[in-house]
Each structure stands twice: as C-alpha cells, then as structure tokens.
Amino acid sequence: GIQVEQSPPDLILQEGANSTLRCNFSDSVNNLQWFHQNPWGQLINLFYIPSGTKQNGRLSATTVATERYSLLYISSSQTTDSGVYFCAVKLDYGGSQGNLIFGKGTKLSVKP
C-alpha cells in the first residue's frame, strides 16, 4: 500500500525559530491534509493542499504532487505550536473510498 513518511520524527525548537516539516508519499494522491494534534489530543485541520502553495498566518504549506512530497513551514514558532503534526493523503485511485492514510507524525516541542 501507499507509504506516507514524515520527517523529522522529533523536533525541538526555541521560541521564535522557523522550521520545515516534510511529508513524502509513494503514490499519486488527490487529497493531502496537514493536521496539528495538540497536547489535549484534538486534531486540528491546518491545510487541505493536494497541490500548490497555501499560507495561513505563520504557517504555510507546499505540495509538489509530481514529486510526491509536501512541506509545512512554521515561522516564528510559539509554545502553542507544540504538539504532533500529521500529514494524511488519499490515494488517487482509491475510487469510492475516501479515507485518509496518515503518516506517523512529527512531534514538535517549542521551548520558551
């Protein structure tokens, strides 16, 4: 099946630093989403980005579908950015199945 690999698995930053999280996927997809899971367990939608670039405040994401990767940029990190960031994809040939396949996540800790 499709492989979704995220790197790095763990990241420790000082407040104010910038970071780049990467998601590689092994097959063609028609849906890619980035999520932030906060320390309370909530999964928060960040981006729906099967291709192209989007920005939302200090966060931005880029997906290059032809090269099968996506990047999540976090600028001027804050302690509230701490948590686990997940990339999830849906196969292009998944047919009627709409389910997302998740990577293992990047655990981010932002120190004050």
Q: Minimum CB separation from other proteins for residue 99, in Å?
A: 4
Residue 15: which of 74, 61, 88, 101 has the closest Cα? 74
Q: Which is nearer to other proteins, 45 or 66 (CB)?
A: 45
Question: Minimum distance between the CB of residue 30 and other proteins, rounded to whole angstroms?
Answer: 5
Question: Please, is 2 exposed, middle or buried when counting C-beta atoms within 10 Å of its C-beta (0-12, 13-18, 19+)?
Answer: middle
Strand partners, 67: none
Q: Which spans of this chain sit near other proteins (rule: CB under 8 A)?
A: 30-31, 33, 35, 41-45, 48, 50, 86, 88, 90, 94, 96-102, 104-105
Residue 44 vs 64, nearer CB to other proteins:
44
Phi first, then psi: give them for residue 79, nearest 5 degrees. Answer: -60, -30
Q: Which lies closer to other proteins via its Cβ, residue 25 or residue 35?
A: 35
